[in-house]
A and B are shown apart, each in its own frame.
Chain A
Amino acid sequence: MTISRSELEQLATLARLQLPTTSCDELSQQLTNIIDFFDQLNAVDTATVEPMAHPLDMVQRLREDVVTESDQRDKLQRSTTFTKDGLYLVPKVIE
């Protein structure tokens, strides 16, 4: 399995990353080596095995639907300078 340049472009798009302008071949090769390394997983017969998503056998806890957090908008918005009137600013998306 080789990760081609076009596959790499597709992965980068899905992950919202840009590919480096240089060293793209090196990245392709590294990802190819990593994916090749995974192939040994397919040597095991797992037809009857239930996938394990989580180490503990637990169920999702539920809680009463009541407000437990106070309004901390001002404090939380100090993590960026791009706010206005309590809203986050992004480049214009609607013309």
Chain B
Amino acid sequence: MNLDSLVGLADGLRRGDFSSEELTRHCLDRIEQHDAGLNAFITVTADSALAAAREADQKLRNGATHALTGIPLAHKDIFCTDGVLTTCGSKMLENFIAPYDATVVTRLREHGVVMLGKTNMDEFAMGSSNESSFFGAVRNPWNTDLVPGGSSGGSAAAVAAGLVPVATGTDTGGSVRQPAALTGITGMKPTYGRVSRYGMIAFASSLDQAGVLCRSARDAALVLEAMAGFDERDSTSAPAAVPAFSQQLDGDIAGLRIGLPAQFDTPDIDRGVSAALAAALQSLVDEGAELVDIELPHTPLSVPAYYVVAPAECSSNLSRFDGVRFGHRCDNPRDLEDLYRRSRTEGFGAEVTRRILTGTYVLSAGYFDAYYLQAQKVRALINADFQSAFAHVDVIIGPTSPTPAFALGAKTDDPVTMYLNDIFTIGVSLAGLPAASVPCGFADGLPVGMQIIGDHFDESRVLKVAHRYQQLTDWHLRRPPAYRSDA
């Protein structure tokens, strides 16, 4: 069974080439066969998946109209799933059975999507390598000595290895785009506010946004239009109509103005990444696109600004984990203070602890103006840079990550080095813009991602450019050799 295209799978289901139950069993078999070496899943919900698949088959026999009916999917373990373990990659929630569904989960289920399980992730989505998970690191299917990126590393590895055709993710500073780039798949983060955050365990509320990891822009468009839309349960949900993204993919890109930020051309970029990106841009130019040099002068400050703002919001959000109502509770607390402190200390891992302490520092008396308020002002400048650029260009293109996948353990001792890996994705998050990462070649045998950034609520254009590029190239269909379906 070929998981390369959701449209292909939807056609196969409708033609009766296979049933959703058979497709679901195929994915469950792939997970069974390959996941021990990848650690992409925290929970596999085989029984409920097969029941949901049989229900989808019934809907298909009755003429279900939605393209996603009967399609298997995995959710990042940050989305609450009613009655199913929801860990957020943390010991804190090791035994947490969510009492309700996230809106993303509800909407996809209403479209007849079959949930296969919950994917591994950096603890509370804090990480760029998926090594901070309490449930162990995820491995990159292209080379299992390497990281898959993070924080949606389990979702990325599961799609790249062909265990599932599509998975959800979340992106706070690059957590959908960077793992997509490092595993050779397509990742889409929509505009902040486009997809409901209800039931998505909060890390940094002014940055968190749900996204999709899959094989192509066409697949991303189909899933995104099912997930997106106003939700009264999320106070920051955008009251904007959701275009039919999948119907707006076709058409040429002649005259498209592509901005190339001078600040994205840094000496830290791997030469193989630069070469792959240059070739990709040339193929878009050959289609009639025009390259325009632009300036995003505050780009170098996006990393420090983000690592002030995100930990500040994280330290507030994670104060809810107090050992009382849910989550890890220490044994034999002496008093209430001891209950709070020991439950939190035992429940949180090293990176989460560092970020809570960092956030507490930048919000504390005497430092608030110097760090937190200043970072928010720099955030405004970063956003203004993008808005000035979008007055002249349609999309902005650059690398997703400065390097291909790196070795497990290579950056875990030095948080600042790990943070600098996010240089190209973080400004986009601070500005709340939509962006995709699409595979655009290889460097030393490892996949390289091209990031396509759009203006607010202009996902359609980002997806259209990505789709056009994927019609010209087949990088997005390359599979890691050890995980091809005949392997």
Give the B-binding residues of A (Cβ under 8 A). Answer: 3, 8, 11-12, 14-18, 27, 30-31, 33-35, 37-38, 40-42, 44, 46, 49-56, 58, 60-61, 63, 72, 75-80, 82, 88, 90-93
- By beta carbon, the residue of chain A nearest B338 is A91
14 new A-B contacts at CB < 8 Å, known A33-B414, A80-B324? A3-B361, A11-B357, A16-B337, A17-B353, A35-B358, A37-B304, A40-B300, A40-B304, A52-B376, A55-B456, A56-B193, A56-B432, A79-B327, A90-B339
Which of B96, B414, B415, B430: most chain A Cβ within 10 A?
Answer: B415
Contacts of B335 in A (CB 8 A): 91-93
Which of B166-174, B242-250, B377-385, B458-466 makes up part of the contact surface? B377-385
Give A50 to B370 CA distance when docked, in angstroms.
14
Complex interface: chain A residues within 8 A of B381 (CB): 44, 46, 49
CB of B371 within 8 A of CB of A76, answer no
**What are 27 sample pairs from A and B whose C-beta atoms fall under 8 A apart?**
A11-B360, A14-B360, A15-B356, A15-B357, A15-B360, A16-B337, A16-B341, A17-B341, A17-B345, A17-B353, A31-B357, A31-B358, A38-B371, A41-B301, A41-B304, A44-B374, A46-B377, A46-B381, A49-B380, A51-B380, A55-B431, A61-B232, A78-B99, A79-B326, A80-B324, A82-B324, A91-B336
Q: How far is the CB of B374 from chain A (nearest CB, A)?
A: 5
State how many angstroms separate the Cβ of B294 from the closest Cβ of chain A.
Answer: 20
Asked if A41 contacts B371 (CB within 8 A), the reply is: yes
Per a CB cutoff under 8 Å, which of A11, A44, A75, A80 touches B301?
A: A44
CA distance A44 to B432 in the complex (A): 22
Report the tally of A-B residue pairs with Cβ distances under 8 A: 158
How many Å from the CB of B383 to the closest CB on chain A? 6
Contacts of B364 in A (CB 8 A): 11, 14
Closest Cβ neighbor of A40 among chain B residues: B304
Say yes or no: A41-B360 contact (C-beta < 8 A), given A17-B353, A33-B415, A80-B326: no
Q: Let me know if B325 and A79 touch, CB within 8 A.
A: yes
Q: Which of A30, A31, A49, A53 contacts B361 (CB 8 A)?
A: A31
Contact B325 A41 (CB under 8 A): no
The DSSP consensus for interface residues of chain A is loop
| A16, B338: Cβ atoms closer than 8 Å | no
A75 cross-chain contacts in B, Cβ below 8 A: 99
B374 engages A42 (CB within 8 Å): yes
Which among B338, B345, B362 is the interface contact of A38 at CB below 8 angstroms? Answer: B362
Q: Indicate which residue in A34, A52, A91 contacts B354 across the interface (CB closer than 8 Å).
A: A34
5 cross-chain pairs, A with B, having the tightest CB-CB distances, nearest first: A55-B432, A51-B376, A79-B326, A52-B380, A46-B377
